[in-house]
Amino acid sequence: MCYGHFDAAYTKPGDYLVQGSGTFYVAAQESLQPVLCVRTNRTLTIKRPVAPAGIGGNAYGGLTQDGTTLVLRDWPASVLGMATSGTSHIGLPMNMSLPQWTALLPPLSDVTIAAADLIEDEAGMRGIIVSAERSFLGWRMIIRQASP
């Protein structure tokens, strides 16, 4: 996060600012205070899984890429430090931890992001949102990388 020193009469939380090769969004803008901005480093697409419509004799009863609803497409976001947690395959010789990271989005009023939403960045990294919270500073999500 950084402070923006500019005329804030023409901006509001959620606005994006582009300067050179950097893209920032306004996270908070309080009177008589510097504007709080967040630098973005990724673009994220978020989809919500939809349960299969049929019952009984479905060919496949799980979730598929076709069975999703688009929430956001190619939205600039800040993706922060990765950590590892849990295991991908319990009991296998190559028992590896799954990476997880935190992503920040602006305070979008008309968008709801929920746990279990699917997320993908511009580089093709995929994950599942473990936790999503909305505050006056925006959306903060914890994402666990999907097992390959």
Sheet holding 22-28, edge to edge: 2-4, 35-40, 22-28, 16-19
The larger pLDDT score, comparing residue 10 to residue 109, is at 10
User: What pLDDT, on the 0 to 100 scale, is given for residue 5?
Assistant: 84
Summarize pLDDT for 86-136 with one digit per residue, the tens.
Answer: 555 556 666 667 788 999 999 887 889 999 999 999 998 899 999 999 988
User: What pLDDT, on the 0 to 100 scale, is given for residue 127?
Assistant: 92
Report which residue type is found at 148: P
pLDDT over threshold 90, residue 35: yes
pLDDT band at 46 (very low <50, low <70, confident <90, very high): very high
Q: What is the mean pLDDT of the chain?
A: 83
- Domains identified in the chain and CATH numbers: 2-40 (no CATH), 42-145 (2.40.10.370)
